[in-house]
Amino acid sequence: MLDEPVQTESGITLSVPKFYTMIAVALVLIVGAWAGGYRIGYGDGKDEMSQFVRDQPVVSPQSNNSSANPASGANISNQGTSGDSTPTTQPKLDPEPEEPTTGQPSQTHLASDIMSPAGYRSEDPRTIGMNYLVLATLPTEQATDAIGYMNDNGVTIIGVPQLDSRGGSANNPSRYKLYSLGLAIPGNRWSAMSNQRLEHQNQIATLGARWQRERRGGSDFSQTNWEKYEP
């Protein structure tokens, strides 16, 4: 019966081999069409998905360049301890301003110069024939501090160098006699200005006691005397 021709409704007669051959060709065409459609659909879908997928950067492992680049060690040592790769730099500090020397005698002077609150001076500010209160005779450092302290408290005093002619000390006086310029008494007014003299002596003694207590001064200026200036 397999060898008998197949009759269709249209009246066309097909043999069995031709019938199976047509079925096989139809199956091949169907499979080919499905495979082609799948491949086309897969490609289109891949293209659409690639738009939403970003390329990931390729990270290469860091190589150890410490032996090849000696300077890299210095750069690493300069990095901050917080993990920041930016080297930390120390800000430049402005130089500290020098302290003002107002009220302190200058260090450049001659052996015969007078010590004053504004510095050493070559001329004696005292007036000839006037009487001035003598406070004490002190070493250079003590005299310098006393002059500055009294000046800060409104009393001007000077230091007259006490030169020693023995050896080389004449060129480098180590002691100064302190005189107050706060009150100058003429010889003919000595008795008339007794109250002013006493008041000025008390003022000097009060400041001297404070200077000795606060600054460890060499004298409290309680044992003072008046001296007439006669160069």
Q: What is the pLDDT of residues 61-112, one digit of tens each?
A: 554 544 444 444 444 444 444 444 444 455 444 444 444 344 454 456 788 8
Q: What percent of the chain has pLDDT over 70?
A: 61
Average pLDDT over the chain, rounded to whole? 76
Q: How many angstroms separate the most distant Cα atoms in the chain?
A: 175
In the structure, what pLDDT confidence band is assigned to residue 207 with cuts at 50, 70 and 90?
very high
Q: Quote the pLDDT of residue 195.
A: 96
Q: Higher pLDDT residue, 30 or 84?
A: 30
Q: Does the predicted model carry a pTM greater than 0.85?
A: no
- Domain residue spans of the chain: 6-49, 114-228
From 2-16, 37-51, 104-118, 147-161, the region with the lowest mean pLDDT: 2-16
Q: Quote the pLDDT of residue 38.
A: 74
DSSP states of 24-75 as a string? HHHHHHHHHHHHHHHHHHHHHHHHHHHTTSPPPPPPPPPP--TTT-THHHHH
Q: Quote the pLDDT of residue 216.
A: 92
- Residues in CB range of 53: below 8 A, 6 or more apart: none
